[in-house]
């Protein structure tokens, strides 16, 4: 039985001779199956969201092996969710937020590890979840960049500059999707937040770069005085 099964509402299926309406029995059977699937999707979505969140946390901690392990587990859960897509497409909205966070983890990890945002995603992820997952990765990149800037190390600052460029690239690709919010998962709202994150991150980066130059000049001046 699939989600698209049509319930025959023709009056010929209504038994007028008694109190039992035949079509109600069929509806009850269909809804019972849908309820079971709904509960399973809620459970799987929760698992996918938790595993994706753990992967993101491990990336921030620079524990990339652990992050990869959580992503592999998340992929297995996503494959279970995907099994319901063909037969119960109207229930897939339940997993949208979890799929979004899964995409966010994948994009964030690839950005940090290889400066690559043009990644191949698993088949079956909802389009809106892909767009919003990319948008939310900008916020995670900001957090990661701030940690790099705090270290003050030259390599980390150089890496932060590259990641800021990726934030911009994601944003400018996403603003091309000028479609109604219902089709994009309220992408516009997320992009407004992302734009603010990018501007603040650029400001933080500039402050660090300026401070670095001032420090270099003071060191050179001190050397000349000696």
Sketch the domain layout of the chain as residue ranges: 1-89, 126-226
The span from the CA of 72 to the CA of 51, in Å, is 9
Is residue 184 within 8 Å of residue 132, measured between CB atoms?
yes
**Cβ-based neighbours of 190, under 8 Å, separated by 6 or more:** 132, 135, 136
> 138-172 in b/e burial notation, b at 16+ Cβ within 10 A?
bbbbbebbeebbeeeeeebbebbbebbebbeebbe
Per-residue pLDDT tens digits for 175-224: 999 999 999 999 999 999 999 999 999 999 999 888 766 555 545 545 55
What's the topology of domain 126-226?
Methane Monooxygenase Hydroxylase; Chain G, domain 1 (1.20.58)
Whole-number pLDDT of residue 222: 53
Q: What whole-number percentage of the chain has pLDDT above 70?
A: 85
CA angle 123, 125, 129 (to 5 degrees): 150
Reported pTM: 0.84
Please tell me the distance from the alpha carbon of residue 88 to that of residue 84, in angstroms, as a whole number.
Answer: 6
């Amino acid at each position: 039985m699939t989600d698209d099964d049509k319930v025959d509402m023709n009056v010929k299926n209504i038994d007028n001779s008694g109190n039992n309406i035949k079509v109600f029995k069929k509806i009850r059977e269909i809804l019972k199956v849908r309820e079971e699937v709904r509960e399973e999707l809620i459970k799987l979505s929760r698992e996918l969201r938790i595993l994706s969140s753990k992967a993101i946390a491990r990336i921030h901690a620079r524990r990339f092996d652990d992050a990869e392990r959580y992503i592999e587990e998340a992929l297995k859960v996503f494959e279970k969710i995907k099994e319901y897509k063909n037969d119960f497409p109207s229930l897939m909205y339940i997993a949208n937020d979890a799929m979004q966070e899964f995409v966010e983890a994948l994009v964030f990890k690839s950005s940090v590890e290889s400066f690559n945002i043009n990644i191949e995603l698993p088949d079956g992820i909802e389009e809106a979840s892909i767009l919003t997952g990319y948008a939310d990765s900008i916020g995670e990149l900001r957090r990661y960049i701030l940690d790099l800037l705090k270290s003050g190390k030259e390599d980390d600052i150089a890496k932060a500059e590259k990641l800021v460029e990726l934030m911009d690239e994601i944003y400018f690709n996403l603003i091309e999707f000028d479609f109604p919010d219902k089709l994009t998962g309220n992408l516009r709202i997320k992009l407004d937040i992302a734009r603010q994150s990018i501007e603040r991150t650029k400001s933080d980066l500039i402050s660090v770069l300026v401070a670095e130059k001032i420090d270099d000049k003071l060191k050179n001046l001190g050397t000349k005085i000696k």
